[in-house]
Amino acid sequence: MQKYRNVQERKLMQVVCNKCGRELKVEKGCLREGCVSVTVPFGYFSRKDGAVHRFDLCEDCYDSIISQFAVPVEEDAGTELL
């Protein structure tokens, strides 16, 4: 879960993994480690019609979850990291 100093400034203060509860490293408003941020807007025909769920996962929890998938995630080579 991401926490900001205030809504207008949007300076990142803290990120906590929703699965394990570990606080991820944030320096000067910048996240300094791998994190998966998910926003899921549920629409018609869902049991959560109209709800929006948001959560963050550290890289270890992400790896743990995807290792359980019956169909593996699709992986491509990324472009150059800046």
Strand order from edge to edge, sheet including 2-4: 2-4, 12-16, 23-24
Q: Please give the model's pTM, rounded to 2 decimal places.
A: 0.82
pLDDT value of position 82:
61
Confidence class for position 81, pLDDT limits 50, 70, 90: low
Alpha-carbon gap, residue 39 to 34, rounded angstroms:
17
Q: Where are the domains of the chain?
A: 2-66
